Structure 1
Amino acid sequence: MNLPEWLKPGLMGAAAGAAVLAYVGFSWGGWVTGSTAEKLASEQAQLEVVAALVPICLDQYQHDPNSGTTIAELKGASTYQRRDILIEAGWATMPGATEASNSVANACVREISATF
């Protein structure tokens, strides 16, 4: 089959335009692949869950009869030890859970540390 002579440059232009469009879209246009979108959504969901659970951690701290002792420990501890102290106190263990959440503990320590 013989193609018209004008078709070849038109197809090459369309291919080059599509390549440039894809490059610009992914580089500057904010386009992402499906797997990147899923990863970003998962990370954002994790952040939102932690943000929703921090008030529960703070409530457990406020209702703990030994909170004064634990706060004194937190004040005297180094930054990287504070999470473990909070986990040992049980404040980062959510109702119905058997283990503490490290992410919740880290966020809760930041909130509590801001008060002293």
Structure 2
Amino acid sequence: MAMQSSSKTSIFQRFDSYQPSKAVLVWACVVTAVATIVVGFNWGGWVTGGTSLKAATTAGETASRQLASAICVERFRTAPDAAAKLTEFKALTDSYKKRQFIEAGGWATMPGQTSIDSNIAEGCSTALSA
């Protein structure tokens, strides 16, 4: 009996000698690109330009409203009869009436504006109620 030489090759030897075709390389690149896009948009936090614009617009409007509400609260508190007005305001139980009270007092009208933004009045009312 003659001893047979081991003709098994290791995984590393097979990897080193592998010569993929151009088609295999192209498909590997395509699959990698698609996988990267799927992972990026689903778990990586990537967004489209439209989604980004919506988020930025919403954040800007929210920040603007919060600033305007803070100005409204400050104008309310620095009014000459602020203590009496605050007591009168806190006596109101309905949030709609509180917002009307703020609007009627003119505190929700921002400098340079002629109309009242009800969202500013609502934010001011919420802040004063706290």
SS in 1 for 2:111: coil
Give the AA of the match of 1:14. Answer: C
Q: Aligned pair in 2 of structure 1 residues 66, 27: CA closer, same or farther (>3 Å)?
A: same
One of 87, 110, 115 as aligned partner of 1:94: 110
Q: Aligned pair in 2 of structure 1 residues 49, 31: CA closer, same or farther (>3 Å)?
A: same
Give the AA of the match of 2:28. Answer: G
2:29 alignment partner in structure 1: 14
1:74 Cα shift? 4.9
Q: Aligned pair in 2 of structure 1 residues 73, 110: CA closer, same or farther (>3 Å)?
A: closer
Taking structure 2 as the reference length, the TM-score comes to 0.71
Cα RMSD of the aligned pairs, angstroms, is 2.2
Q: Distance in 1 between matches of 2:80 and 2:105?
A: 9
Q: Aligned pair in 2 of structure 1 residues 45, 79: CA closer, same or farther (>3 Å)?
A: same
Unaligned runs of 5+ residues in structure 2 are 1-19
Q: Aligned pair in 2 of structure 1 residues 74, 50: CA closer, same or farther (>3 Å)?
A: same
Give the AA of the match of 2:53. Answer: E
Structure number with greater Rg is 2
Q: Distance in 2 between matches of 1:67 and 1:93?
A: 20
Taking structure 1 as the reference length, the TM-score comes to 0.79
Point out the more displaced range, 104-113 or 72-81.
72-81
Unaligned runs of 5+ residues in structure 1 are none
**Runs of 4+ residues deviating >4 angstroms:** none
1:79 alignment partner in structure 2: 95
1:104 alignment partner in structure 2: 120
Preserved CA contact (<8 Å) 2:92 2:98: no
